[in-house]
């Protein structure tokens, strides 16, 4: 055996087949049969038919089928705005504002109650001390058994 430092290379050749990369003609062009062409003619509208239908008044048989894009887009925008959450500072400010509003309302009700109280209790004595003081007696008898007092002058 001899020592050789040469590198041995081995090449295997395969017979390459030719690959056809062309697409069929039907990929680029369509050829219809006579039956298909007659079906298209029956389904198609002529220009005369279109102009004849333009002269007729519109029929509102399907009002939900036709959409106004402007109205629809406006509604979508409104919904987007509703879903948006306010920022932290704005939310904190809204809470403080609500508390101040409730406090003012409470004070307003309290003032109205005081005014109502003053309206009906002006000049009338209150509490146990008032019972001992003399109050102007009315002419009506205190009990049914008492005789009515008549003024005699």
> Per-residue DSSP letters for 55-72?
HSPP--S-TTTS--HHHH
Which stretch of DSSP H or E encloses residue 131?
helix 127-132
Assign 18 a pLDDT band (cuts: 50, 70, 90): confident
Tell me the C-alpha distance between 23 and 20, whole Å: 9
Say if 115 falls within a structural domain.
Answer: yes
Tell me: the pLDDT tens digits for 80-108?
887 778 899 999 999 999 999 999 999 99
Asked if residue 132 has pLDDT above 60, the reply is no
pTM: 0.28
Tell me the C-alpha distance between 90 and 99, whole Å: 14
Say if 12 falls within a structural domain.
Answer: no
Say if 98 falls within a structural domain.
Answer: yes
Say if 27 falls within a structural domain.
Answer: no
Say if 40 falls within a structural domain.
Answer: yes
Say if 135 falls within a structural domain.
Answer: no
pLDDT on residue 54: 85
Split into its structural domains, the chain has a count of 1
Say if 131 falls within a structural domain.
Answer: no
Tell me the C-alpha distance between 143 and 151, whole Å: 19
Assign 152 a pLDDT band (cuts: 50, 70, 90): low
pLDDT on residue 82: 79
Say if 94 falls within a structural domain.
Answer: yes
Assign 47 a pLDDT band (cuts: 50, 70, 90): very high
Owning domain of residue 105: 32-57+69-119
């Amino acid at each position: 055996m001899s020592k050789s430092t040469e590198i041995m290379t081995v090449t295997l050749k395969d017979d390459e087949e030719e690959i056809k990369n062309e697409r069929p003609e039907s990929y680029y062009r369509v050829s219809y049969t006579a039956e298909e062409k007659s079906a298209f003619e029956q389904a198609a509208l002529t220009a005369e038919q279109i102009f004849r239908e333009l002269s007729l008044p519109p029929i509102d048989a399907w009002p939900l089928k036709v959409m106004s894009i402007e109205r629809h887009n406006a509604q979508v925008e409104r919904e987007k705005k509703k879903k948006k959450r306010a920022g932290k500072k704005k939310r904190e400010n809204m809470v403080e504002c609500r508390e101040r509003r409730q406090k003012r309302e409470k004070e307003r009700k309290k003032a109205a109650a005081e005014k109502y109280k003053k309206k009906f209790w002006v000049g009338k004595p209150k509490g146990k001390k008032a019972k001992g003081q003399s109050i102007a007696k009315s002419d009506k008898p205190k009990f049914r058994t008492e005789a009515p007092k008549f003024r005699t002058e």
